[in-house]
Chain A
């Protein structure tokens, strides 16, 4: 069964460093998403991406965040200068075209900022 894959599974970084989280969405999907979940809290929407551009972003997704689809398979989330409060699980998801479709999630990257 096709799945969304994310790497790395765990990333530790120093405050102020840049990190790139990587995702390989399901191959025929056209919509891509990033979500995050701070420990003990709910899953929060960050950004959606379609047709090589951001289609919607939340207020969490400020200028420190960016997304890119550098080639035909990868979808990345970059955090330019990490803060302690960026520590969270980051989930990538993808979905097919149309309203009546489900989004599939990866297993997440645990980001720890020290």
Chain B
């Protein structure tokens, strides 16, 4: 599985956009980029995923560079409830597993 690198922590002002970067320079052509978050030891929550095109849903936008070696998760209007650990995961589906390999993630602190 390709490895990801994320900054350990970031701050963001409430109401502003939070831009969380992720490097995945060894990503393979058939690997997707997934983002999850974990709020205070709750179960990880799916946010968004993509292969090579930019993606947007009701929670966030995912921008993937053309060479696919990095991506950015954008929370357009961060709220205090978005304070969490955010995980960027490259998901390799070997056989039938689809397991997720979590790193340390980025702890996002949204401040009033």
Contact = CB atoms under 8 A, between A and B. Distances in A.
A50 B96 contact: yes
Interface of B: 30, 32, 34, 38, 41-46, 49, 51, 87, 93-105
Nearest to A4: B43
Interface of A: 4, 31, 33, 35, 37, 42-45, 48, 50-51, 55-56, 89, 91, 93, 95, 99-108
B109 to A, nearest CB: 17
Nearest to A43: B102
A51 B42 contact: no
B104 A42 contact: yes
B37 to A, nearest CB: 11
State the majority secondary structure of interface residues on B.
Answer: loop
Nearest to A92: B43
Q: Which of B46, B95, B104 has the most CB of A within 10 A?
A: B46
A48 B96 CA distance: 9
A95 B97 CA distance: 10
Contact of B100 (A45, A50, A99, A100): A45
Contacts of A95: 98
A37 B41 contact: yes
Contact of B42 (A44, A45, A56, A108): A108
